[in-house]
Amino acid sequence: MRSRNGNHPFPLKLFSLIFFSSLVLNASEFLISYRYVVKNSLLYNETLQISKAMTKCSGNAYDGIILESDGKKDLQRVIANNSERFIEYVHLLGLHVNYKDETINYQNSSTTILTLKTTCFKVDFNDNFAKISPLK
């Protein structure tokens, strides 16, 4: 139905609804956890687990990192290609530290475990980069 000035308000509203919803739906949410184990000053194990969130995460995104994605929308591959930058970023977010030191028969043994507990991240994929932001 036309308004008096000749404009078609319904198609314009429909187009804007589709356009803005596509921008919102482009963002995905992922659960990421990280664990780094050092035994006797040697790297023993490093684990980074990524999975797509099955339910919507609550919270606001803050302080994201932008990584090159080469047009791919596979977060595992994007992080693997930029692993050093992402791991440095995870360290800045704050890790839980568990340290154990013991001496038996004059031999010292130590274990340090750094853990990023499972955190929900909002990921926006664009043409050449992915913006990864934790939700709080």
Residue pLDDT, tens place only, 10-23: 555 544 444 444 44
pLDDT of residue 102: 93
The SS3 assignment for 34 reads: strand
Domain encompassing residue 42: 27-134
Using the Cα atoms of residue 113, residue 74, residue 126 and residue 16 in order, give the sign of their dihedral.
Answer: negative
pTM of the predicted model as reported, rounded to 2 decimal places? 0.71
In a domain, residue 102? The reply is: yes
pLDDT of residue 21: 43
**What is the rounded distance in angstroms from the CA atom of residue 40 to the CA atom of residue 134?**
32
In a domain, residue 21? The reply is: no
In a domain, residue 47? The reply is: yes
Least confident of 14-28, 76-90, 107-121: 14-28
Dihedral-angle region of residue 41 (phi above 0 means left; psi in -120 to 50 means alpha; beta otherwise): left
**What is the rounded distance in angstroms from the CA atom of residue 91 to the CA atom of residue 96?**
10
Question: Would you state the structure tokens that stand for residue 102, as one six-digit string?
Answer: 């013991």
In a domain, residue 18? The reply is: no
**What is the rounded distance in angstroms from the CA atom of residue 80 to the CA atom of residue 47?**
12
